[in-house]
Structure 1
Amino acid sequence: MYKISIIEDDTTLASLMSQHLTKYNYDVQVVTAFQDIEEAVTQYQPHLILLDINLPYFDGFYWCRKLRQTLTCPIIITSARAADAEQIMGIESGADDYIVKPFSLDVLVAKISGHLRRIYGDYAAQQERSVRYEGLILYLERLILQYDNQAVALMQKESALAQVLLSEAPKVVTRVTLLTKLWDDESFVEENTLNVNIARLRKRLKELQAPYHIEAVRGVGYKLKELV
């Protein structure tokens, strides 16, 4: 099930969009903590974001640039600002599309479906470099981990970690190798940093309900193995 974040301060419109998207079997998050949008969205890890421009605290252009620092999923701006300059600014801020209000909810669904198909569908898989281990696929350009038509977005370090583990699976990868691959010089990385990223990647595998686990091999490192 694809996850969509709605960032819209018009509660009536946000509710209408949420209800309509739910009918199409999307998992929907309506963000209400406008002072902390980045944290709310990053924790949810959506496959697509619907972003208004006129928001409290900071506008949508600011949040689009901010979210683009860590997320690669499609961002669609939904705004009553119809001027060409506003739409250009939205795209230059990192958005993939711009829909002017008022809009048809059915057109919105079609736009969403098109972007999801382009980014996560079969066509995207044919065009993009990927690393596979059995049924688990990591798409390197989009930082997407997929299993059985389910997908989660990864942070950059999580993706780099997954790439090494999938490439070497089911062999053990030493801690030194992982630290060197992820941070170039492991001597400047705290011991706990790798543990944190391993824990995050384990969480992503659980979200996918993938039958794989990252096993710690005492005194050596980690390996990706199939659950039995």
Structure 2
Amino acid sequence: MFKLLLIEDDSSLFNEIKDRLLQWSYEVYGISDFSKVIQEFTEIKPDLVVIDIQLPKYDGFHWCRMIRSHSNVPIIFLSSRDHPSDMVMSMQLGADDFVQKPFHFDVLIAKIQATLRRVYNYNTEKITFKTWCNATVDYEKNTVTNDSGSIELSKNEIFILKLLIQQKNKIVSRDELINRLWNDKRFISDNTLTVNVNRLRKKLDEIELGRFIETKVGQGYIALEEEIQ
């Protein structure tokens, strides 16, 4: 049974979401003190966080930064504000998905299920390590290591890299990546994938591998395989 932390200060909406999630046999927790979100997060140890942007004390972006400073737990943002910048900011901070209010509960539940399935089921394959461009990609620890150092990737980033490496030197379409990542592209902005890939490439730059992920305009992305000298 998965534990979900719902960080929402609207009590009526919190209770309605909680009731819907309980029907799917999830354990659902809320926040009792919005000035101590991190302390309660640490105590609960949730498998997934659903967080509103507008909260008392500090906004959801602040708490996302705090959570991401020591955890890669999947995060889904909720927002009543109709600003594309909110979605971009969410993805840049490492969120896994974004839901605009008002929303249909079936959409939220589908996104939660897709995220949990992606994060906790994708690494059950026998292959744990992969060598790519003279680097070791660890699909369990979400790390990429080479002679220049080691980086840690988020769940979305390692999943994107894995999909690209599986078809290295071939173009993987944006539609395929979106469908594999979020299950239903109808609810995902095209910019969401761009933000995730750019964040992946920026991290790979730290160990001199960013240049091996290329954008093919109008088509998708490709992971090149470095020639071993």
TM-score for the superposition, normalised by structure 2: 0.55
Contact 2:74–2:95, Cα closer than 8 Å, also in 1:
yes
Greater C-alpha radius of gyration: 1
Residue 141, structure 1, aligned to residue 126, structure 2: no
Aligned position for 1:19: 19
Q: Distance in 2 between matches of 1:107 and 1:68?
A: 25
Alignment of 1:11-160 (within 5 A): 11-121=11-121, 123-126=122-125, 129=128, 139-141=140-142
Q: Percent identity?
A: 37
Q: Distance in 1 between matches of 2:47 and 2:142?
A: 14
Contact 2:2–2:26, Cα closer than 8 Å, also in 1:
yes
Contact 2:123–2:140, Cα closer than 8 Å, also in 1:
no
What secondary structure sits across from 1:72 in the alignment?
Answer: coil
* CA offset digits 1:117-164 (Å, max 9, x no partner): 00111x33228738xxxxxxx94239xxxxxxxxxxxxxxxxxxxxxx
What secondary structure sits across from 2:114 in the alignment?
Answer: helix
* CA offset digits 1:12-56 (Å, max 9, x no partner): 000111111010000110112100000101111111000001111
What secondary structure sits across from 1:33 in the alignment?
Answer: coil
Name the Cα RMSD after superposition.
1.9
Which residues of structure 2 form unaligned runs of 5+?
Answer: 130-138, 144-229
Contact 2:77–2:98, Cα closer than 8 Å, also in 1:
yes
Alpha carbons of structure 1 residues 84 and 128: separation in structure 2 relative to 1, 3 Å: farther
Task: Give the aligned residue type for 2:81.
Answer: R
Task: Give the aligned residue type for 2:13.
Answer: L
Q: Distance in 2 between matches of 1:128 and 1:51?
A: 33
* CA offset digits 1:171-197 (Å, max 9, x no partner): xxxxxxxxxxxxxxxxxxxxxxxxxxx
What secondary structure sits across from 2:5 in the alignment?
Answer: strand
Q: Distance in 1 between matches of 2:72 and 2:100?
A: 23
Q: Distance in 2 between matches of 1:85 and 1:40?
A: 28
What secondary structure sits across from 2:36 in the alignment?
Answer: helix
Alpha carbons of structure 1 residues 85 and 140: separation in structure 2 relative to 1, 3 Å: same
Q: Distance in 2 between matches of 1:39 and 1:126?
A: 34
What secondary structure sits across from 1:54 in the alignment?
Answer: coil
| Structure 1 runs, 4 residues or longer, greater than 4 Å off | none
Contact 1:7–1:32, Cα closer than 8 Å, also in 2:
no
What secondary structure sits across from 2:70 in the alignment?
Answer: coil
Aligned position for 1:183: none
Which residues of structure 1 form unaligned runs of 5+?
Answer: 131-137, 143-228
Contact 1:3–1:46, Cα closer than 8 Å, also in 2:
yes
Q: Distance in 2 between matches of 1:88 and 1:70?
A: 21
Q: Distance in 2 between matches of 1:140 and 1:32?
A: 32
Contact 1:68–1:94, Cα closer than 8 Å, also in 2:
yes
Q: Distance in 1 between matches of 2:93 and 2:69?
A: 11
TM-score for the superposition, normalised by structure 1: 0.56
What secondary structure sits across from 1:58 in the alignment?
Answer: coil
Task: Give the aligned residue type for 1:18.
Answer: K
What secondary structure sits across from 1:76 in the alignment?
Answer: strand
